[in-house]
Amino acid sequence: MRRLVIAALLVVALSGCASEVADLEATTATELQTAVVAVAEPAAEGDFATSLAQLDDVQKRLETAIADGAVSAGRAASIQSAIDAVRADLELALTPEPEPEPTAPAPEPDPGKPGKGDKPEKPGKDR
């Protein structure tokens, strides 16, 4: 399930960079696309630690593009949102699943003692 979410988020991030809108320079879009692919490939193999490291590169590239004016504020916010979502999912994927707590088996009833339903009726009592 996690892999599907990561893959879906990466596709969203990748398609967000591919637009020909003037709020993202073509060179910057290409660089971000390449960086996003570098995140997706190890994630597809289950190597979430490498994907997380590659995502740091996407983050740096976005920050550089913002500083250079190569991406509009609106587009930068959209890309940042995708980065944040992918990061959260990768970090979740890297979190080990908790071990289930062992449960003690229920004690076996003592066959020498009758249960409540096993009480003999007292003589002289009508039900």
Residue ranges per structural domain of the chain: 2-94
Mean pLDDT of 43-65: 92
pLDDT tens column, 9-36: 555 555 555 554 568 888 888 888 888 8
Q: How many other CB atoms sit within 10 Å of the CB of residue 25? A: 15
User: What pLDDT, on a 0 to 100 scale, did the predictor assign at position 56?
Assistant: 94
* Cβ-contact 70, 25 below 8 angstroms: yes
User: What pLDDT, on a 0 to 100 scale, did the predictor assign at position 100?
Assistant: 79
Q: Which two tokens stand for residue 22?
A: 């003037």
Among 1.20.1440, 2.30.29, 2.60.40, 1.10.238, name the CATH number for the domain at 2-94.
Answer: 1.20.1440
The residue length of the chain stands at: 127
Q: Is 36 exposed, middle or buried (0-12, 13-18, 19+ CB in 10 A)?
A: buried
